[in-house]
Structure 1
Amino acid sequence: MLTQQVIIRRSLLIFPRYCSTSTSHNTCNRTTKAELDSIIRVDHAGEFGADRIYAGQMAVLGSTSKGPLIKHMWDQEIKHREKFEELIRKHRVRPTAMIPIWNVMGFALGAGSALLGDKAAMACTVAVETVIVDHYNDQLRKLMGDPEVNKELLETITKFRDEEQEHHDTGMDHGAEQAPFYKAFSEAIKFGCKTAIAISKVV
């Protein structure tokens, strides 16, 4: 009995090691259609939401000194959204059913944060982008299991991750941490973003 337990334990240790050292097309590493659909669906939803957040900020701060800065970041988010719309069509992925809700909530978050002042708007940007960068990094680790098959998605997400990191850094450079109740405000937004991500993966 003891010998059998030892053999089972050793096999559990060897199996993941075998998967990690095998070719990229090994079934241990291969990304399934369902997983790819979930990645594209949630990323499309996220970029759509980011588009609406910046639209809300522009509606309030567009004519201020922060207008050009917000417009630059918004333009990048529009390109992100358009790319994932292309991938939605290409891979025949069902978009999340939550799009109408994210449309309203995204704009409300952007406009609401901007109404609290430009520093609160930057704090909103930092909070959102923190979650998105972490989210993209998690996806990249998953997709690297099959880099040849996932080449386009890897390149797309890597590029967008880097631009989201730039948005985060821009927000920090423009006074995000000086916003009133910064930590509580930031944590509330992060929680909302993580919840939206979890819902959009499946709904």
Structure 2
Amino acid sequence: MDTKQDLLSFDLADRLVLQLDQALHTLIPGSSTANRHSPALAADDAELSDSERQQAAALMRINHTGEVCAQALYQGQSLTARLPDVRASMDHAAREEVDHLAWCESRLQDLDSRTSLLNPVWYAMSFGMGAAAGLVGDKWSLGFVGETERQVCDHLEDHLDRLPANDQKSRAVLTQMIVDERTHGDAAMAAGGAELPLPVKAGMKLMAGVMKTLTYRI
């Protein structure tokens, strides 16, 4: 069964099966296929030192895990969203984010590195957070997406500064990801997303910091 079908036509049990299928596609290396070509293909290749390669790989591993979390958040929210158009919006955004997942994984392979061993943990936690946000209400669910994407853009821009200067391929991937993430966040807020309370934003930022610290090495 195609996991990209509109989930609105399925009952809860069917959607849970599709969610499991999507989780496996997200977590098993090589299972995600991008609909767009990676921006890295158009960028110049450069020789990286061992230390530069390790730094680039560590940052791209964090970015890959961020996309794992994004998939889980969107899947959790689409499962519990009340309004059909909001649920459909979550499904659409998740499909677009698959490109990012595949691009980051491909870049990690180019850098002779791997994805994080902790991805199943982050997926489970993020799915739960997304489902909880959907249960609270659609305006908060959309606001959660908007704030998540804002924070993602901030850390991607930070990674652009921390990448080796001559790693144009990783830089091209992150630059396009920033464009897409900002679009998703703006769309969520325009669709009626509510501004989250400051303590919630701070908690999200704290959790993201823990994820980045652990994923940098594991």
Considering only aligned residues, what root-mean-square deviation do their CA atoms show, in Å?
2.4
Deviation at residue 31 of structure 1 after TM alignment: 6.8
Please report the TM-score for the alignment, with normalisation by the length of structure 2.
0.71
SS at match of 1:66: helix
Q: Deviations over 1:9-63 (max 9, x none)?
A: xxxxxxxxxxxxxxxx9x9xx9712101111111111111111111111111286
Number of aligned residue pairs: 172
Moved over 6 A (4+): none
Question: Higher helix proportion, which one?
Answer: 1
Q: 1:152 aligns with which of 134, 159, 169?
A: 169
> Of residues 189, 193, 205 in structure 2, which corresponds to 1:176?
193
Paired letter, 1:183: L
Alpha-carbon distance, 1:116 to partner: 0.5
Corresponding residue of 2:64: 44
1:56 corresponds, among 76, 79, 85, to: 76
* Structure 1 residue matching 2:117: 3-state secondary structure: coil
1:92-147 CA-to-partner distances (Å, cap 9, x unmatched) read 2132221110110111111111111111111221222122101111111233722x
Alpha carbons of structure 1 residues 178 and 156: separation in structure 2 relative to 1, 3 Å: closer
Q: Which structure: larger Rg? A: 1
* Structure 2 CA distance for aligned equivalents of residues 200 and 178 of structure 1: 29
Bigger mean CA deviation after superposition, 87-96 or 68-77: 87-96
Residue deviations 1:72-102, cap 9 Å, x none? Answer: 2111111111221222223221322211101
* Partner Cα distance (2:81, 2:194) in 1: 18
Native 8 Å contact 2:55 2:163 kept in 1: no
Shift in CA distance, 152/178, structure 1 to aligned 2, threshold 3 Å: closer
Question: 5+ residue gaps in structure 2?
Answer: 1-45
TM-score by length of 1: 0.76
